[in-house]
Amino acid sequence: MTAHALTDALSDAVTLTRRGLAHWARRPGQFAVGLAFPVMMLVMFAFLLGGGMAVEGGGDYTEFLVPGMLALTMAFGLEATMVELTQDINRGILDRFRSMPIAPSAILVGRSLLDMLSSTISLLIMVGAGLAIGWRWHGGAAETAAALGLLLLLRLAMLWVGIHLALVAGRPESVQAVQILVWPVAFLSNAFTSPETMPDWMGALAAWNPMSATAGAVRELFGNPGWQAGSWPADHAPALAVAWPLLLLAVSVPLALRRYARLGD
C-alpha cells in the first residue's frame, strides 16, 4: 500500500469513527452505563469480598485487586461493538459502505478506533475509581505509561478477536451467545487471586491466560503486590503481556479482513 493510499484509508476510518461518535451523542445513557459497570464491579469486589482476601507477604488486597480489575475491564463492553457490527450487516449498511469508494479496511478500522476511544475513557475512569478507594501506584511515569499501554494493547487484541467472531456470527443474537464465552476467559485469570489457590488444571489455564499475563505485568509496573508463584508464566509476565496480544492480532486481523471481504458471497 502506497503512502497516499494509506492516508486515504486512515481518513476514511476517521470519518467512520465520527459516525460512531454521533451515535454516542444520541445515546448518552447507554454510553454512561457502559462506563459505570466496571466501577460497580471494582467497588463490589473491593468492599464486599476484599475483607476476606489475603495477599502473599501481607500486601494490601486493594492494591492487588485494582490492576487485575483494570485488565478485566479490557474484556468488558466487547459485545457492544460486536452487536453494532452485526446490526450494520443485517440492515444493509455495510453493503452500502462497500459500494462506496472507500478503503475496504476503513469500516473495521473505524469501528476499532471508536472502541479504543471508549476503552481509553473507561480505563481512565477506572484508574480514578481505584485512586478513590485507596489504590496507589508506586512506579515512575514511564512505568505507569507502559502499564496503561499494555492494558490498551490487550483490549485491541481482544477487540479484533471480537470483530472476527461478530463477522462469523452475522447476527446480534448469535453475538450474545458468543459473548458468554468472554466471562470464563476473563474470570479464569489472576485478576482476583493467585492461580496457585485453584485446582491444578484450572490454575494452569489461569496462569497461561493472556489476561493473567497483562495483570501480572501491570502489577509489576505499578509496584503493586502480587503472588510470586515461581511458574514460568508468572516469572515472564511482561514478555507474555506483549507476546499474547501481538499473536492474537497477527491471527485475528487478517481473518477479520478476509471475512469482511467475503460478506455477501
Q: Is the pLDDT of residue 82 over 70?
A: yes
**Which residues lie below 8 Å from residue 173, measured CB to CB, with a gap of 6+?**
none
CA-closest candidate to residue 241, choices 216, 206, 205, 204: 216
Over residues 39-62, the pLDDT tens digits come to: 998 988 888 776 667 666 667 888
C-alpha cell at 242: 506483549
In angstroms, the CA 151 to CA 191 distance is 13
Helical ranges in the chain per DSSP H: 3-26, 28-43, 61-73, 78-90, 93-98, 106-132, 141-169, 172-179, 182-187, 200-207, 210-222, 232-235, 237-261
- Please compute Rg for the chain using Cα positions: 19
**Ranges of each domain in the chain:** 28-50+58-261
Q: Is the pLDDT of residue 8 over 60?
A: no
Give the number of other Cβ atoms within 10 Å of residue 95's Cβ. 12
**More confidently predicted of 25 and 84:** 84
What's the whole-number average pLDDT of the chain?
84
| CB-based burial label for 65 (10 Å; 0-12, 13-18, 19+) | buried
C-alpha cell at 211: 489476561
Give backbone dihedrals phi and psi of 175, rounded to 5 degrees, phi first: -60, -40
Q: Is the pLDDT of residue 1 over 60?
A: no
Quick one: CA dihedral 81, 86, 92, 97, positive or negative? positive
- HSE-up of residue 223 (Cα within 13 Å, Cβ side): 10
Over residues 134-176, the pLDDT tens digits come to: 999 998 999 999 999 999 999 999 999 999 988 888 787 777 7
- HSE-up of residue 253 (Cα within 13 Å, Cβ side): 13
Q: In this structure, are residues 109 and 85 in contact, taking their beta carbons and an 8 Å threshold?
A: no
